[in-house]
Structure 1
Amino acid sequence: MNTSTSSLRASLGLALVSLLLFGLLYTLAATGLGGLLFPQTATGSPIDRDGKVVGSALVAQPFAGERYFQPRPSAANYDLMALAGSNQARSNPDLRQRITDTRAGVAAREGIAPEAVPGDLLTQSGSGVDPHISPEGARIQIARVAKARGLSPAQVEAWVARHTEGPQFGLFGQPRVNVLELNLALDVLTTAGAATAQ
């Protein structure tokens, strides 16, 4: 057997072993272990109501109506197939104009001064589907949501506090509110209240 044939066999053998070991076995082991240790997260952290998946705790979605807290703006229009930020620099005049317009819109919707609008309600996240807003971003929406749902601001504020998550592992990031989970909890509360009143 000559050297070139021996080298070819060794190369093909290494390629086959690498493909099976890293391409198949590693992937199966990682997927299986992830599903075993983190079953909720491994399947996309779905949230279901009455046996129907209504969203994911990891993905923002738009809400229509005064009854709902609003998420951050999305450069991807909340489309999972088009995840992206705007990639516009701070010096970009289009970005500055969009922020100015968004600030005016949020201020008008919430009945507050434009300078009181928190930055997270003006800027888009890197993914375009960040499900969280800051506690300040939630607080400025309390009066509107409470009025639309026939609740007191104190009741809605208590639900915002219940749905405010601390920093990850107590160390990383800032406190945040998951908009979908908060809106779903308020839907359950107002539906139960309406049923009791009848």
Structure 2
Amino acid sequence: MNSPASTPRHGGILRPAIAVFAALSLVTGLAYPFLTSGIAAAVFPREAAGSLIRQNDRIVGSELIGQSFSSPGYFWGRPSATAPMPYNAAGSGGSNLGPRNPALAEAIQARIAALKAADPGNPLPVPAELVTASGSGLDPHISPAAAAYQAARVARVRHLAPGQVDALIKAHTDAPWLGVLGEPAVNVLTLNLALDKLSAER
């Protein structure tokens, strides 16, 4: 049996534990976030601010977050299943619908019908990414093939030469990182902003 002198007091246990907790809270909860945020703001100021896109001194979006486009004169991005609205950056997530879920099949058929209605003469197969939502629901990119599928429709609605639209797609296609990591991708928002600029200059 331990003698009273050898029994540790609660204060002797709690004080070091509280001190370690307070120190780690300061380091990991304050010092580290402030340090990393400060370095990011100094080295990559635009990216640290959210890669925001400004037009006429007004923020129109971010290169990292998709937006909803439904007019046939614009390129359409991947569908979004975020709630309570599409491309909700505060609620990133997918639909969680399984491949055998009838609701998923209905949603895909509705999206195919919308694409066909906007461009009934298009003989190309509909790219899967234009009718299926991404896991995040915020994907700002589509593949060059998905952009090419829509190019004729956009050119016709905007009364542009197909070559002009093709050149814009090429100019707004991001190459794989370091040339090998990832796939080429087209940023839908920047492409549509370039379309508006081109149409305004005509």
The AA in structure 2 aligned to 1:40 is R
Superposition pairs of residues 17-56 of structure 1, within 5 angstroms: 17-56=23-62
- In the other structure, the counterpart of 1:162 is 171
Any runs of at least 4 consecutive aligned residues in structure 1 with deviations exceeding 6 A, and if so which?
A: none
The AA in structure 1 aligned to 2:195 is L
Does the 8 A contact of 1:110 with 1:140 survive in 2?
no
**Structure 2 residue 116 is matched with structure 1 residue 107:** yes
**Structure 2 residue 188 is matched with structure 1 residue 179:** yes
The AA in structure 2 aligned to 1:95 is L
> 1:158 and 1:13 mapped to 2: Cα distance?
62
> 2:36 and 2:140 mapped to 1: Cα distance?
26
- In the other structure, the counterpart of 1:15 is 21
**Structure 2 residue 14 is matched with structure 1 residue 5:** no
**Structure 2 residue 158 is matched with structure 1 residue 152:** no
Quick one: which of 101, 106, 120 aligns to 1:97?
106
Q: CA deviation at 1:22?
A: 1.2
Q: CA deviation at 1:137?
A: 0.8
Q: CA deviation at 1:68?
A: 0.9
For structure 1, the 5+ residue unaligned runs are 194-198
Q: Which has the larger radius of gyration?
A: 2
Q: CA deviation at 1:104?
A: 2.5
Q: CA deviation at 1:29?
A: 0.5
> 1:138 and 1:12 mapped to 2: Cα distance?
57
For structure 2, the 5+ residue unaligned runs are none
Aligned-partner SS, 1:116? coil
Root mean square deviation of aligned Cα:
1.6
Q: CA deviation at 1:105?
A: 2.1
The number of residues matched between the two structures is 192
The normalised TM-score by structure 2 is 0.89
